[in-house]
Every structure is written in structure tokens, then in C-alpha cells.
Amino acid sequence: MQIKYLDLQTQYQSLKPEIDNAIQQVINHTAFTLGKAVDEFEKAFASYCQVKCCAGVNSGTNALLLALKALDVGPDDEVITAANTFIATVAAIVHSGAKPVLVDIDPISRNIDPLLLSIAISRKTKVIIPVHLYGRIADMDPIVKIAEKYNISILEDAAQAHGAEYKGKRAGSMGRMAAFSFYPGKNLGAYGEGGAVVTSDSKLDQKVRMLRDHGSAKKYYHDIVGYNARMEGIQGAVLGVKLKYLDKWNQERNRVTKSYNKFLEGLPIRLPEINNDYYQVFHLYVIETDQRDELQNYLKNEGITTLIHYPIPNHLQKALDYLGYKEGDFPVTEKLAKEILSLPIYPELTEEQIKYIADKIRNFFE
Ligand SMILES: Cc1ncc(COP(=O)(O)O)c(C=O)c1O
């Protein structure tokens, strides 16, 4: 059996008439950037995230950047985020002109460690970006407390957490703003690039809308210098169709997780923690083992593709050399980078496939 890390084809086939029709409508109306399909998706997604406003943009990275710009982040500021995140979170901070300040993660939640976060606050800290990594929301209660104490804004990086919940609250509803990515492989994925900024502050929403459209609210009147970061009509249409299925797909991801946890029980690997404070949406299913590289190779030879999120921590990336971090600065992130392995996960993964993967992992350890 060959098992790909991700299969987007099965899902497309199951929705083909609906998706094809939605795309054709955009073409019929030649509404290629923004337009009706994007408007409708924005309204539906804001409501889904339990916030008032949503602005569709052209990537998750730009969603983060535009949110930081809307919060007036610039060269004199520091923005804190988790050491273990995709480089896009850090890149958006760099592009805003601010200095990224990294904080190590908690080994169980694998999200930013609130205690270390409180130590990293300085007089220059303007924004905290908690990243809801792998589909699990960061421990928001202490993070919100710290932000309130020092009057710092929270921008959630919810790129991996569409529909995740923390104590009944949806991803995107707990910060002053939140950024989502609709990269095709995400829990809610476009048919191309896409992202969104959500907030309940209509002034911030207005500013993001201007920033995404060359700094203008009225055509050819440019009050601020902006970007071209508008969402495409086709992406709005596809996302509008797919949003209706997101809850079902997230439930399926939970089914996959439960089955993996059951089939992998008793092996010398660490499985993702299930914690009742969280509704996790398992964008990724990540195990930990000190024989990671050997296991990954073994599975590859058995026809199973796995990935590592992320093999080289941001603070050891060449691009971020100038920040002056060195090996040993973030021991939890560094240890994880050597031990984590992401197994295939998507809503359509069958019990037979999960059992097959788990059996191969068992064979490896035996
Ligand atoms: C945590 C995180 N932040 C930001 C991004 C950037 O999103 P995009 O690829 O849509 O620019 C991603 C996804 O790639 C991500 O996983």
C-alpha cells in the first residue's frame, strides 16, 4: 500500500459538482479579485470564528503582516512569538519592521510557554503572536492575562487551527486580531493561495481592507501606503463551499487521531496529548521518538510519506542569523526538532490505512 502524506483529490471528487459550479460562477461574472464570492465567504467565516469582521487576503503570511501593520507595529517595536512555528510567522514580524523575540514552547502542548513569555516582555513589546500549532490552541488564559497587564495586543496565528476551541472559544476570537491561512493543505484550504484577518474591532478591519488594496478605501484615493494582497474571487468561492464541511472534516481528523492513539498505544513514542480544555482540530498528527530519522526512513521504504514540522528551528535558520540566537537558546524546541514526526492525516484517511501505518510503526519497534 502507498500512503501519501496528504490527499486532496478524494475530497475534491466528493465535492466536484459544487466546487466546479462555484468556480464557474466567478468566471461567468468575471469577478476575479474580491467581489461577491469573497464578500459572502468573509461574512460566513467571521460568524464561524465568533467575531464581527473578516477580511480575505492572498495568504496567511500577508494576513499576519497586514494585521501587524494595522496594529501600527514598526521598527521600534518587539513582537513575541513561539520558537516552534513555521518561518512565515517570524517573516511577517520582520517585514513589519519590528524585532522578532522568540520564546520556547511547553513540551506537552507544544505551544508557547506562558511563563517564559512573561519573562520575555520588555518595554518595547507591542504584540504577542501565540501560534495555535498543529491544530491546538495555545494556553490563552495566562497569555491574555499577561497581555492585559502590560497593555499588549494579541494577534493569534490560527493558520493551523480553523475551528479549534479553547474552553468553548473559537480560534480567532480570543486575540485583538487573528490571522488564518487557506493554503491548500490546511484544514480549510483554498485552490491556490489565501488567507484572512479576523477581528471584532471594525476600525482595525477597515485598516486591513485598505492595506490589502493599495491603501485605499475609495478607488484611486490612497490614504496610506498599502499592498496588493486581495483575495481572489475563485478562492472566495471555493472556501465558501468548503466552510460548510469544515466541522465534519475536523471531526474526521479527531477520528483519525483517536484511531492512531489506539493503534500506537504501548510503543516507545510520545503521542499527542488529549486535554478536555481543548477541542483540537489536528491539522497535524505529530508523534515523538528518539529514533525519528530511522523510523521516517523505514516508513518511506514501506510506501508511507511522513513530514517534520519543523526540522530546523527558526532561531537556527540562516535567514534569522542576525537576531543573534544560538544553539541551546530554546532547548524544548530544539529537542522536538530532532524527535517529531508528522504522520499522514486528512479527513478521508481510512481506518484500514491508519491501521496499516500503525502496524508498520509497530514492526519497526519490534
Ligand atoms: C503557523 C503558520 N503561520 C503562518 C503560515 C503562513 O501561511 P501561508 O502559507 O498561507 O502564507 C502558515 C502556513 O503555511 C503556518 O502554518
pLDDT digits 0-9 by tens, 271-327: 999 998 999 999 999 999 999 999 999 999 999 999 999 999 999 999 999 999 999
Same domain, 264 and 140: no
Same domain, 224 and 290: no
What is the CATH number for 322?
3.90.1150.10
Question: At CA 283, angle to CA 279 and CA 287, rounded to 5?
Answer: 95
Look at the chain and count its residues: 366
> In a 3-state reduction of DSSP, which class is residue 96?
helix
CA count, 13 A, side-chain hemisphere, 108: 5
Q: Is residue 358 part of a domain?
A: yes
Q: Is residue 3 part of a domain?
A: no
Same domain, 312 and 220: no
Residue 57 is predicted with a pLDDT of 98
Same domain, 225 and 274: no
What is the CATH number for 110?
3.40.640.10
Tell me if 88 CB under 6 Å of ligand 1: yes
Residue 330 is predicted with a pLDDT of 98
Tell me if 60 CB under 6 Å of ligand 1: yes
Tell me if 130 CB under 6 Å of ligand 1: no
Strand ranges (DSSP E) for 158-208? 165-166, 169-170, 177-181, 195-199
Q: Is residue 238 part of a domain?
A: yes
Q: For the chain, which ranges sit under pLDDT 70?
A: none
Same domain, 252 and 217: no
- Nearest ligand 1 atom to alpha carbon 195: 10
Q: How far is the CA of 60 from the centre of ligand 1 (A)?
A: 5
Q: How far is the CA of 360 from the centre of ligand 1 (A)?
A: 31
Take atom 10 of ligand 1 and give the residue whose Cα is closest: 60
Look up the domain containing 86 and give its range. 9-243
Strands 216-218 and 195-199, how do they pair? unpaired
Residues 6+ positions from 143 with CB-CB distance below 8 Å = 112, 114, 117, 128, 130, 154
- Nearest ligand 1 atom to alpha carbon 85: 1
Q: Is residue 23 part of a domain?
A: yes
In the listed set 180, 211, 243, which residue is the last one of a domain according to the structure?
A: 243
Residue 64 is predicted with a pLDDT of 98
Taking only the tens place, the pLDDT of each residue in 330-352 is 999 999 999 999 999 999 999 99
Residue 361 is predicted with a pLDDT of 98
Q: How far is the CA of 97 from the centre of ligand 1 (A)?
A: 19
- Local structure of residue 274 (DSSP, 8 states): P
Residue 32 is predicted with a pLDDT of 98
pTM of the model: 0.98
In the listed set 194, 220, 243, which residue is the last one of a domain according to the structure?
A: 243
- Total domain count, the chain: 2
